[in-house]
Structure 1
């Protein structure tokens, strides 16, 4: 556990250069080329994290102001994904899940059961979260490990299945996204998009960022869309004029900078992907391998961020009116663009369809977040989490986004 914690504490900006350099050497790259690629990817991740920090640090106060202004009062607090991750890493199941994750990925690659080489170690907490949910619900470590293993297998398969769209639409060559709380919704998003394609009228509405830019010229550019959407969010949050302008400019900066940070990351990843393809085609003809990365590299698409910003007030409205919902959206409202990746990608950036699909996503996420609040609270108490004053139960929008883990959790709970 100390070794795992040491690696996690280094963070992706340090460990990614190490991992990518080792993979480059494995695929017969010269050390200088492998190290340069690894360091470039680490710099790309550092840039992405900085821009995500800009997004979250500016949106969080605005979303909190919305919650306060709207007078929402629900009894399950959204404590956010960092707390969910910390609680997961505090459970006793952690070392076993890491070992199981490595072994399953290696076996599936060797047996041609997956094409995804998952190097996204920091998001193993998703698998740990699944195992912990089941372990605490059933009081069985064995069932918890089974649940974690099933999640790993399904997420790797979903990453394989969605990788052609990831590479084509997002321009991430040789990449897949084994990111549980996002790729879990890919089948739902693809199914909804197929339904929308068959509805007269709706199937004619095209509102992607390219069309917006053609129609509105400079005012349709991503950075100006960020400016306008940020200003609208600031207005809804009842900011003063200075606050509205500041939020608008910062959202414009996010829309402008994020794609450039992703391009830096891809500059380092492309040489690795090419070397991997060459090496594998020689050693294993017909075999293909994708590098499994954090879905953070996909939220830089303007349609994803735009849809995520629009969904903030919609999510608060849903929380207020949905019968049976007890989860008060709060901390994780700032990361809604993550949840919108597979609301937008199936329609190739159609923001109109993305909002419809994203609304359906958020209904499910709110209900799942409510449903797991009891066991999430038990998990939090077991690791000594300090509950906010007046809070009886906790959950998170991110926890509610774990669709595949929730299905596995419910099936095992019903059987055992």
Structure 2
């Protein structure tokens, strides 16, 4: 077992950018694509992921640093430290259940595919950590191995079904045909965002506002282009941070670079993915005529959409403002500002790229995320201590925006703690509301795609 654990950990330590070329090369060979074509495709995808991470790193380096400067200026004393998704992932992979859940999750995915229970073929093995995170939280909260494995597997099943449901929108709006996003912390918000979009439809005045990247560019010319919007947003963020003129300008130019470079890095990634996607489609059609399969990928492939990046930059000061004014919040946002492009994806997709609606939906989401971050801080901290995470000096509790995007993990945690009756009831209520919203909006993705096709 120790040898297997070490081997698995070695592969996981490579990260997504190194794991995916290996996985996709093997996958391409299985699909009969040949070694050269498969390896080239896998390596191109790996290079694309490195490019995406480098560009997203600019958000952390400049916007994240500016956010920290805002926090310092305001002298905030929030006592739950945002340690960022890399720490959350590392803690999750270090749990003893990780080595068991990797093959279990893969087997469940294959069984569901074989039984036509899902169309999602999740090749994003590295991001299994989002699914395993549910099991980790329950394992350290209850000590029950069967219960934690059950919660992780339920989490996976729901995530695959959400990915199926939203895949047509990924192909239509995000222009990623044949792809779905079984990225648990992002796709979990899709039912909420589609429900909120219905609410915005009912509000007089707001339902007439249609501000998209295309309309801005058409009406404003250059000043409506993503590059200029990035510059303006960066300048505003730098000014709010209290920077001098030099640092304000640097922040502005770097945010302009994010809005230009991120879509191009995603295009490079998709260049590598298309041969694998087409090979998978042909492979399935030959052996299972009429069966449709989506390739499940990291939501990073969606972060290149200009509106996604624009909304994520707008959400930086809004997130800080919400952290300050919400009476229940104790999270000090910082390290996870780089994941905001992932967090807002479904707010953008559900609103068809309407920037005003996307910001409103993202703000509502952030209110929930900050609540989960505060409420789950004790569980996340216990998990970190159990695997030997080195806490920063002065930090007593840890959490994060990314880790707190997992709605179902919060529900599982509350349902597994019936001794805390108020939270147990809250968990039931949230579960009922969540699946009720999903049922209410069940036809919205299909309607959105049909409307988009009719408009072409």
Q: Name the TM-score class by shorter chain.
A: over 0.9
Query: Structure 1: how far apart are the matches of 2:132 and 2:282?
Result: 34
Q: Which residue of 2 is the match for residue 206 of structure 1? A: 210
Deviation at 1:134, TM superposition (A): 0.7
Check the 8 A contact 1:126/1:180 in 2, yes or no: yes
Query: Structure 2: how far apart are the matches of 1:136 and 1:36?
Result: 42
Gaps in structure 1 of 5+ consecutive residues: none
Check the 8 A contact 2:60/2:335 in 1, yes or no: no
Q: Which residue of 1 is the match for residue 349 of structure 2? A: 345
Check the 8 A contact 2:131/2:155 in 1, yes or no: yes
Check the 8 A contact 1:131/1:144 in 2, yes or no: yes
Deviation at 1:34, TM superposition (A): 2.1
Deviations 1:280-324 (A, max 9, x none): 112101111111111111111111111111111111111111122
Q: Which residue of 2 is the match for residue 296 of structure 1? A: 300
Query: Structure 2: how far apart are the matches of 1:42 and 1:360?
Result: 34
Deviation at 1:388, TM superposition (A): 2.2
How many residue pairs align between the two structures? 416
The one of 336, 345, 362 equivalent to 1:358 is: 362
Q: Which residue of 2 is the match for residue 27 of structure 1? A: 31
Question: What SS is found at the alignment partner of 1:349?
Answer: coil
Deviations 1:317-370 (A, max 9, x none): 111111222222121123212111111111111110011000100000000011
Q: Which residue of 1 is the match for residue 386 of structure 2? A: 382
Q: Which residue of 2 is the match for residue 285 of structure 1? A: 289
Question: What SS is found at the alignment partner of 1:182?
Answer: helix
Question: What SS is found at the alignment partner of 2:417?
Answer: helix
Deviation at 1:105, TM superposition (A): 0.9
Gaps in structure 2 of 5+ consecutive residues: 425-456
Moved more, 79-88 or 351-360: 79-88
Moved more, 74-83 or 214-223: 74-83
The one of 131, 150, 166 equivalent to 2:170 is: 166
Check the 8 A contact 1:180/1:404 in 2, yes or no: no
Is the aligned partner of 1:110 residue 2:110? Answer: no
Cα gap change, 1:257 to 1:346, in 2 (>3 Å): same
Question: What SS is found at the alignment partner of 1:397?
Answer: coil
Alignment of 1:16-165 (within 5 A): 16-165=20-169
Runs of 4+ more than 4 Å apart: none
Question: What SS is found at the alignment partner of 1:92?
Answer: coil
Query: Structure 1: how far apart are the matches of 2:337 and 2:59?
Result: 11
Query: Structure 2: how far apart are the matches of 1:309 and 1:300?
Result: 13
Q: Which residue of 2 is the match for residue 8 of structure 1? A: 12
Check the 8 A contact 2:173/2:352 in 1, yes or no: yes
Question: What SS is found at the alignment partner of 2:418?
Answer: helix
Question: What SS is found at the alignment partner of 1:414?
Answer: coil
Cα gap change, 1:47 to 1:334, in 2 (>3 Å): closer
Check the 8 A contact 1:315/1:362 in 2, yes or no: yes
Query: Structure 2: how far apart are the matches of 1:76 and 1:39?
Result: 39
Deviation at 1:44, TM superposition (A): 1.5
